Amino acid sequence: MSLFDVYPIYQITPVKASGAKVWDDKGQQYLDFYGGHGVISIGHSHPAYVTAIEEQVQKIGFYSNSIQNPLQEKVAKQLAQLSGYTDYSLFLCNSGAEANENALKLASFHNGKSKVIAFHKSFHGRTSAAVATTDNPAIVAPVNAGHAVIFLPLNDSDALKAALQGGDITAVIIEGIQGVGGLDEGTTAFFQELQQLCHEHNVVLILDEIQSGYGRSGKFFAHQHHNIQPDIISVAKGMGNGFPIGGILISPKFKASHGLLGTTFGGNHLSCAAALAVLDTITNENLIANVIAQSAYLREKMAEIPQVKNIKGKGLMLGLEFDFEIAALRKQLIYEEFIFTGNASQKNLLRILPPLSITAKEIDQFTIGLQHALEELGL
């Protein structure tokens, strides 16, 4: 049997990783400034993470949600303490798409409405409702297109007000910082007005923090830069440092009932062990402070490179803008400078998502590699 060919793949086979370093099957070392779409939060193969999973799998790796699992309660307690959402509830699942799917479902159960507002260049996943709220028609199949979704320009308050007038909107879903779309984000004024309008119109505000959450922006959640409190927050990616886990943080205004939401694998013992190791390490190593410090240093170093015309994003979720398309630069970086980076739907933007534990020395290595790649390409 062959693999279903849906991924454009670089001809590199990683076999080992530690911190921000990756080694391939030929022994070549790479610097990871992308973290597999921002999944690697505390660093590859962090000792606390490895130990937690090893110890847990020797006890019990999985049982369904028909029994008690105290590890889930522990994840909820520590996540509440770190995020500040102490009065919210937690529903655990397996991925970001599943988190958004459940967020949208819960919103519709709550107010009995079905139409959703999303934003231009958004990405919320590839499952049914999640992909319907993703602004990319190429990945929306006819079976997904039945969902009623309105796409609005980001930061357009007038368009938002007009869309809410019909009274048929169940939810607004928005990323703390857009990822695939190219690191655009709402202004503080827009986020605050969005929150107020949602409250006035009985609309559920869903903050997609799947990529921008877990400290990556310099706060635990990116929306906390704007002093708002959404009704539902979706999380995944950095939550498990590579182990599949996702979830939604749910405001106390939502009422739970048996069978309302559900999952077979979500919140299993192994995934909870991984999630706890991540939360412990963020705390013990003061990683959010490191994000703030290293983000400032990275911006300083990028200011030394004239080809970098602008830096978008916050913390260690950054996009470097050039005045040319970056496909050739990204290929040069990975094959000649041995540095992993990312792209976006904005073709002139290089996406930077290193582990939260990145060091100044590794930023220096990235800077030298980027300068050398630009020189070699004559850019």
What is the model's pLDDT at position 111? 97
- In which band, very low, low, confident or very high, does the pLDDT at 62 lie, cut at 50, 70 and 90? very high
Alpha helices, DSSP H only, in the chain? Answer: 35-38, 47-57, 70-83, 96-111, 128-132, 157-164, 188-200, 269-284, 287-302, 327-335, 360-377
3-state secondary structure of 100: helix
Q: Which amino acid is at 129?
A: A
Query: Each residue of 163-201: pLDDT tens digit?
Result: 999 999 999 999 999 999 999 999 999 999 999 999 999
What is the model's pLDDT at position 35? 96
Beta strand pairing status for 169-175 and 115-119?
parallel
Helices (H) and strands (E) in the chain, counts: 11, 14
What is the model's pLDDT at position 123? 98
Positions of CATH 3.40.640.10 in the chain: 48-284
**Average confidence score pLDDT of the chain:** 97
CA distances from 190 to 3, 159, 174, 211, 227 (A): 44, 12, 11, 20, 11
Query: Each residue of 133-163: pLDDT tens digit?
Result: 999 999 999 999 999 999 999 999 999 999 9
Query: Each residue of 340-349: pLDDT tens digit?
Result: 999 999 999 9
Neighbouring-strand partners of residue 29: 23
Report the pLDDT averaged over residues 281-292. Answer: 98
What is the model's pLDDT at position 122? 98
3-state secondary structure of 253: coil
Asked whether the CA dihedral 366, 367, 368, 374 is positive or negative, the reply is positive
Positions of CATH 3.90.1150.10 in the chain: 14-46+286-377
Report the pLDDT averaged over residues 214-240. Answer: 98
What is the model's pLDDT at position 50? 98
What is the model's pLDDT at position 193? 98
d(CA 248, CA 224): 16
Enter the pTM of the model: 0.97
Asked whether 321 and 311 are in contact (CB, 8 A), the reply is yes
Q: Which fold has domain 48-284?
A: Aspartate Aminotransferase; domain 2 (3.40.640)
- In which band, very low, low, confident or very high, does the pLDDT at 118 lie, cut at 50, 70 and 90? very high
Q: Which fold has domain 14-46+286-377?
A: Aspartate Aminotransferase, domain 1 (3.90.1150)
